[in-house]
A and B are shown apart, each in its own frame.
Chain A
Amino acid sequence: MKTIASLLLIITLTFSAFSQNGYEKAMREGLDSLNNFKNLADFQNVANHFERIAGAEAGEWLPGYYAAYCYVVLSFKEQEPGKKEMLLAKCENLISQILEIKPDESEIFALQGMLYQSYIMVDPQNNAPVYSVRANQSFDKSIELNSANPRPYYLKGMNLMYTPEVYGGGMKTACPLIAKADELFNQFEKENDLMPDWGKEYNAQLLGQCGKEQTVKE
């Protein structure tokens, strides 16, 4: 009897180890395609891939996170307002699912802020008042949960750069945040290689613009 039990235990362990490796392998595959995308259709492909993993791994927040990330990127690129809202609704849904799995993850709130920024673009005149407040609340929460996370600073800074000065935007307010994000990006160390690690390059570009602006002024 003992032998049966131990054998079963070994088999189960092997299987779960196998499945764990399968998870990591599948995640890495997804991240590879995400980092080497060629066109927008790839984002839909990758989103589908991560959604499948999310469906099979109810306890993991990362697959849903990356699927939501793909949808928010797609929503920014989408021109047709109706389609844009559907993508955002999908993304919002995914975010609320992963917040149930991990309610105190700084990265999720940073992504939520980005989602709200995209909502503003659907109908700026009507959505800006509500969603700009929500976006800021999400970024503040993200920073509160992990002050070393560069993404909330980066997203906030990028948004301010494209906001007119009278609404509290412009280079003057944006650049300190971009600089802060740059500093954090350089120090940032992922807990493991599946954790989010995006935004560094584009933030560096924005920082370049900040530099130019200053030189012109001087």
Chain B
Amino acid sequence: MSNPRDVVITGIGLVSSLGEGPDAHWQKLAQPGLQPVLETARFAPYTVHPLPEIDWNLQIAKRGDQRQMETWQRLGTYAAGLALDDAGIKGNDELCTTMDMVVAAGGGERDEAVDAAILAASESRNDRDVLLNEKLTTELRPTLFLAQLSNLLAGNISIVHKVTGSSRTFMGEEGAGVSAVETAAARIRSGQSTHVLVGGAFQTEHSDMLLGYELAGYLHRGPWKPVWQRQGAEGGGVVSGSGGAFLVLEQRDHAMSRGRKIYAELGPVVSGRARRSRGELDAEIAGLLSQAALPNGRLLAMSGASGAHAATTAEKTALDAVETIAARGFSTLTGHMKEAQFPFAVALAALAVDRKAAYPVFDAAAEKPFEGIPASVLATAIGYHQFEGMALVKSA
């Protein structure tokens, strides 16, 4: 039964190697046997799913604003703009100034050339701290700091799109995306917010973004494989991708009163922190599945599995144990997008509900077909290293 304070999804902004916007993603992902877009040379031995060509002007009108950002912030600001446009909020002062925002963010890009020069010089200098001062004071571009600060993605969204009701930035890899969606939904359900912009972006085409995984050996090396088939292959199993996902979440009444199209209802959003070193992950995933109030019958699941061996095995085992679940590991086609992973999963789930059709298998060897109309779709993000979350997306 619908409630006026239900959380509904009225805007979706997506960017990935597959293209931009919900329609483009649906069209691509609905094609059986779609091949991923891969960049295998630039970061060899690592493969990444690169950004598509983007005309930033379409969502970030001022060149001056574009110049103040690096790709990560531009990407997030762009994806946020797509979601606002899609929800009919962009350019509406009244709706933008009262809109709350929760962004899931990591950090922005460092200057690779400056860093490489400092590292090269460090080979012949023992006074490395002095070297650092010398180089950083003279070679850093002053405004680069602003392009690196986690909270400045949200800051740029306020500046470019005028979303100013409130602005919070959550950090912490996939878990940040989970908490962002969970908090936004809780605000709406409790009547604190009527409409919230929530999402994140990840720009993986930068050595530091790869290093963030590889300091623990998480990246897959060698020939590309689908996300479920990387166990035993060289490396740690993660293939990352650049992308962004923003959602406009809205109180049902608020959306209806302005006559907006509703993609889907966002049902329960659940999260957890397994102490993985104590072997709690399997039980945590099972617990989240039971809290997510899964409906009877067949269920499509948009899994954000990263490919990281331990976490992906645990998730696959748990999903396979529920016979009625047909999972789709979308990282096979988009790569792992860290903070944006969970919002992306929720967006893909909402699209399937809206289009009344399931995605075909992304990996015929590991995924089961799903026939019929998916009235509910599960979205998951089991962190490659820590933190877990799920949401159930339902027909509106």
Determine if chain A interacts with chain B.
Answer: no
What residues make up the interface of B, taking CB atoms closer than 8 Å to A? Answer: none
